[in-house]
Amino acid sequence: MDKTALKFERMREDMVENQIISRGISDPKVIAAMLRVPRHLFVSDALMDQAYGDFPLPIGEQQTISQPYIVAEMTQALNLNEEDRVLEIGTGSGYQAAVIAEIVYRVYTIERIHELYVRARTLFDKLQYFNIVTRYSDGTLGWAAESPFDAIIVTAGSPAVPDFLISQLAKGGRLVIPVGNQDSQDLIRLYKDDKGIHETNLGACRFVKLVGEQGWKE
Ligand code: SAH
């Protein structure tokens, strides 16, 4: 490994120790995935040295890559298994999709901004994430043709849980989504079984808005 890669690997280890494990994330799959994904490659060159900091960063188009801890928290809440097929709404930088792709069989991720979609697809190919399937469209409608999904993650804030996403969730499936107004949301986890939908509130969070037919209007 060259010097730069080694430097970023050290920063990544510190990030996982001081932001993830120390705050109670315990799923070994999530910890291993976050140690592997080179987060600095998901931001612009100018921001690389800040990529492992305890904060979100701009990725262009007025969008952001989430803070490392929130990525870990949402991934853990999905309760992922090796054979799972997972839908992500809001590809953005592609970082969250890559973390999930380290754990599961296949990730389907949808982005509505063309430039971000192209950039993420190019990076997935470069990093050889062949189990990530990308799509450019309105993710609030889900991805019916590939449903049902074992887990669905929405990485943008929504006024409510889109019905399409609930219906595309498999029995035993988990859905994690920030729900609230445009300034602050609650991170909601839904679990679907024979008896219906069970909801838990994981606490306050703040995301950019989910824009689409079942989300906010532009
Ligand atoms: N998971 C991303 C977070 C990106 S921020 C990461 O790891 O970097 C949220 C993203 O959701 C933005 O890129 C935004 O364009 C996208 N988004 C918002 N509404 C959407 C919709 N209806 N369908 C698909 N993507 C959407």
Average pLDDT, the chain: 98
pLDDT in tens, 74-99: 999 999 999 999 999 999 999 999 99
Residue type, 1: M
92 C-alpha vs ligand 1 centroid, how far in Å?
Answer: 5
Closest to 126 in 3D by CA, of 91, 98, 160? 98
Residue 78, in any domain of the structure: yes
Residue 30, in any domain of the structure: yes
Residue 211, in any domain of the structure: no
pLDDT in tens, 20-70: 999 999 999 999 999 999 999 999 999 999 999 999 999 999 999 999 999
pLDDT value at 160 more than 80 = yes
Residue 215 near ligand 1, beta carbon < 6 Å: yes
Indicate which CATH number applies to the domain containing 168: 3.40.50.150
Q: Which helix (H) or strand (E) is 33 found in, with range?
A: helix 28-36
Residue 216, in any domain of the structure: no
pTM of the model: 0.98
Query: Using 50, 70 and 90 to split pLDDT, how confident is the model at 208?
Result: very high
**pLDDT recorded at residue 196:** 96
Residue 162, in any domain of the structure: yes
Residue 74, in any domain of the structure: yes
Residue 210, in any domain of the structure: no
Find the domain containing 171 and state its range.
3-205
Query: Using 50, 70 and 90 to split pLDDT, how confident is the model at 218?
Result: confident
Residue 155 near ligand 1, beta carbon < 6 Å: yes
CA distance 139 to 79: 22
How many structural domains comprise the chain? 1
Residue 153, in any domain of the structure: yes
